[in-house]
Amino acid sequence: MMRIAKLLLSLALAAGCVAPAAAADLVSKKKAVVQKAPPVETWNPWMIRVRAIGVLPSSAGSKVNVVGAPAISSPNAGLSIANSVVPELDVSYFFTPNIAAELVLGVTPHRITGTGSLNGLDVGHAWLLPPTLMLQYHFTNFGQFIPYVGVGANFTEYFNQHAGNTLAFIPALGTTAAITSLHLKDTFGVAGQVGFDYMIDQHWGINMDVKKIYMEPSYSGTAFATGVGSLPVTGRAHINPWLTGGGVTYKF
């Protein structure tokens, strides 16, 4: 009987030692199976770009009409509009990974001078505020290289306008003349765009971009010719600039 009792006691002690180990092993396996999935980063539709751009007007075809002075009016005379280099900020919102709207923001100064029979005449100076809204298509099947095309609309406000007010000798008149007042009228126009982003990582990239914006403001002013007096001036300035630039892209 004593031998049977000892055997039963040994079995009970063995069962008590093994059960905790088995339970611990079961908990460990459960923890291994039930693990938290890695966090998934949500897609953000916003992107910004900061660029340095060259603003290159295409002033050919600009019209000048000086009342009573055909010798210094078109087609004998025209306008030249100086280039400019300025910073540009663009804000984009992606409706899908391929389709986005981009708002182009910046200001640019330009000096206007006469050409042809008005060659060398300082016509004036103006700043342009041309916010442009583009609708873009981004090609996303080239990996880190993401080219895009866009079309859009532009509104340009002309501010801080100043006439040249500098006398220059005009051979076609045989006397000196100056532009004493100048006003350019705000315009609406259309725009086209091609460019690309090269994404270095998920957020940062390098951007190159070319835009063509059509802006042809009508203008009015006054010319003063020595010995003649004041003459009304009207016309249309063909600015129509190319905007070429590069910069940095940040995707939120």
Asked whether the predicted pLDDT for residue 176 surpasses 70, the reply is yes
Q: What is the mean pLDDT of residues 2-24?
A: 49
Predicted local confidence at residue 202, as pLDDT:
93
The reported pTM is: 0.81
Q: Which of 243, 219, 117 is nearest to 162 (CA)?
A: 219
Predicted local confidence at residue 42, as pLDDT:
78
Q: Which residues pair with 162 in a beta bridge?
A: 125
Q: Which pair of tokens denotes residue 37?
A: 């999935």
The pLDDT tens digits of the residues spanning 75-119 come to 999 999 999 999 999 999 999 999 999 999 999 999 999 999 999
Output the CA–CA distances (angstroms, integers) from residue 242 to 10, 17, 209, in the order listed.
Answer: 95, 84, 11
The pLDDT tens digits of the residues spanning 48-78 come to 999 999 999 999 999 999 999 999 999 999 9
Question: d(Cα 112, Cα 186) in Å, to the nearest integer?
Answer: 16
Q: What is the CATH number of domain 46-251?
A: 2.40.160.20
Predicted local confidence at residue 27, as pLDDT:
46
Asked whether the predicted pLDDT for residue 190 surpasses 90, the reply is yes
Listed in sequence order, the residues at least 6 apart from 78 whose beta carbon sits closer than 8 Å to its beta carbon are 59, 60, 61, 62, 63, 64, 114, 115, 116, 118
Place of tokens 């129509």: 240
Question: d(Cα 84, Cα 242) in Å, to the nearest integer?
Answer: 11
Q: Which pair of tokens denotes residue 156?
A: 């340009």
Listed in sequence order, the residues at least 6 apart from 144 whose beta carbon sits closer than 8 Å to its beta carbon are 198, 199, 200, 205
Q: Where are the domains of the chain?
A: 1-34, 46-251
- Band (138; pLDDT cuts 50, 70, 90): very high
Mean pLDDT, the chain, rounded, equals 89
Q: What percent of the chain has pLDDT over 70?
A: 84
CB neighbour class for 219 (10 Å; exposed up to 12, middle 13-18, buried from 19):
buried
Predicted local confidence at residue 23, as pLDDT:
47
Q: What is the mean pLDDT of residues 193-221?
A: 98
